[in-house]
């Protein structure tokens, strides 16, 4: 008697291993974390630990309540906790970090079905919530004194040279300040095919073009490197669960984030929070980009939209 195995989609799987993907991403996040902790000090380490712990406890609690097995081997809770923590500036209240971690995992990730079924990037949603709870994060808490030298964020009227911004000598999220390290991580993740390199490149180019039109070349470079834009483009926008599947969809998705980020950053007053809000907005577009831009064959001679029956 023949037996048939019945299972839910997807039926076609790629060669990429999920555990390997999260492991490489986790290793990449450790690099900017180490720099941030070295630069900002013990308080930065405390925020990272609280964020990762909150994500771990939240996922454990959800699985316990629903009698599910908690799989720690894919490092997904660690990646979410690290990404969330690295976008927080030092001085962020600990309760804000803990609440954001809980919402990221328990609600945004697990309540919608768990890994691979969430509609938003969990860390991105948690960071947006943190900006609502603590509006001071919008200006990166304005200033910080490190080794006797005071740094003032660009959003709060501070001035930094391009070299300082690239090397991470400024105010910002714990892991978002050193652009050089983030770009090194981008090259590594692209080379190992963990992320799609086209999304960050399109995002950066679109930001650059719009920012030049709005404020000129020098201001465009300073603004692009002074906030979390590069970090979001590399570590958040490329999440395979919440990014489009087609090239056209990815182009629209990345272009929209870059162009809108430049527009909001130059004309708005929300500071860093505006970038995360824009990223969450383009996340909302992904289901529609996949719905209307994926084509399937109908016969030997043509194709039709997957949405149309």
Q: State pTM to two decimals.
A: 0.83
The predicted pLDDT at position 79 comes to 92
Q: How far apart are CA 204 and CA 221, in angstroms?
A: 11
Q: How far apart are CA 42 and CA 40, in angstroms?
A: 7
Mean pLDDT of the chain: 80
Q: How far apart are the first and last CA of the chain?
A: 35
The predicted pLDDT at position 308 comes to 46
Q: Out of 7-16, 111-120, 157-166, which region has the weakest mean confidence (pLDDT)?
A: 7-16
Q: Are 118 and 112 in contact (CB under 8 A)?
A: yes
């Amino acid at each position: 008697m023949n037996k048939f195995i019945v299972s839910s989609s997807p039926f076609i799987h790629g060669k990429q291993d999920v555990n390997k993907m999260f492991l490489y991403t986790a290793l990449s996040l450790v690099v900017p974390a180490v720099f941030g902790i070295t630069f900002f000090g013990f308080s930065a380490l405390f925020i990272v630990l609280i964020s990762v712990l909150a994500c771990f406890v939240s996922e454990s609690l959800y699985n316990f309540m629903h009698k599910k097995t908690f799989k720690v081997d894919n490092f997904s809770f660690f990646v979410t906790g690290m990404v969330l923590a690295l976008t927080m500036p030092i001085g962020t209240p600990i309760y804000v970090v803990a609440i954001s971690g809980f919402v990221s995992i328990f609600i945004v990730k697990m309540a919608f079905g768990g890994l691979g079924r969430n509609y938003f990037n969990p860390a991105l949603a948690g960071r947006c919530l943190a900006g609502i709870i603590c509006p001071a994060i919008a200006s990166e808490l304005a200033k910080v004194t490190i080794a006797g030298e005071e740094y003032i964020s660009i959003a709060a009227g501070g001035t930094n040279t391009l070299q300082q911004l690239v090397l991470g000598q400024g105010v910002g999220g714990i892991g978002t300040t050193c652009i050089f390290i983030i770009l090194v991580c981008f090259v590594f993740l692209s080379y190992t095919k963990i992320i799609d390199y086209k999304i960050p490149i399109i995002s950066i180019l679109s930001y650059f073009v719009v920012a030049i039109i709005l404020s000129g070349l020098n201001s465009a470079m300073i603004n692009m490197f002074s906030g979390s834009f590069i970090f979001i483009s590399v570590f958040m926008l490329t999440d395979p669960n919440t990014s489009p599947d087609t090239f056209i969809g990815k182009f629209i998705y990345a272009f929209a984030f870059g162009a809108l980020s430049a527009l909001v950053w130059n004309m708005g007053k929300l500071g860093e929070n505006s970038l995360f809000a824009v990223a969450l907005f383009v996340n909302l577009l992904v289901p529609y980009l996949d719905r209307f831009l994926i084509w399937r064959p109908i016969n030997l001679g043509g194709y039709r939209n997957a949405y149309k029956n």
